[in-house]
């Protein structure tokens, strides 16, 4: 298990503080299937800065970005815990 509450860590990051846990979980779910940044934009129900959201997730170790993006093990654990 986590030595801390991962939701609290995410919420206190620069960009996350404006969004609910529901928005975060939706964003992570979309990342698992999205092939294009437009897929992410279209799937989110709230207006968000997708690039800032991705960068914040990357900085917190939940997402890796290279040739596309993918959830790290830490990101997968967060998504599983949130469902």
What CATH number does the domain containing 60 carry?
1.10.10.10
Question: Where residue 74 falls among pLDDT bands split at 50, 70, 90?
Answer: very high
**pTM for this predicted structure:** 0.74
Residues 33-67: tens digit of each pLDDT? 888 888 888 988 888 888 888 888 888 899 998 88
pLDDT for position 1: 42
77 lies in a domain?
yes
32 lies in a domain?
yes
Residue 13 has pLDDT above 70, yes or no: no
1 lies in a domain?
no
Secondary structure string (H, E, C) spanning the chain: CCCCCHHHHHHHCCCHHHCCHHHHHHHHHHHHHCCCHHHHHHHCCCCCCHHHHHHHHHHCCCEEEECEEEECHHHHHHHHHHC
Planar angle of CA 44, 82, 38, nearest 5 degrees: 20
Tell me what percent of the residues of the chain surpass a pLDDT of 70: 78
Containing structural domain, residue 68:
6-82
13 lies in a domain?
yes
Tell me what percent of the residues of the chain surpass a pLDDT of 90: 20
- The number of distinct structural domains making up the chain is 1
End-to-end CA distance of the chain: 15
50 lies in a domain?
yes
29 lies in a domain?
yes
Question: Where residue 5 falls among pLDDT bands split at 50, 70, 90?
Answer: low
């Amino acid at each position: 298990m986590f030595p801390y509450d991962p939701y609290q860590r995410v919420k206190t990051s620069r960009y996350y503080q404006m969004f609910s846990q529901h928005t975060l979980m939706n964003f992570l779910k979309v990342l698992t299937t999205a092939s294009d940044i437009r897929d992410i934009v279209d799937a989110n129900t709230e207006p968000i800065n997708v690039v800032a959201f991705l960068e914040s997730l990357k900085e917190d170790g939940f997402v890796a970005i290279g040739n596309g993006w993918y959830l790290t093990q830490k990101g997968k654990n967060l998504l599983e815990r949130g469902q």
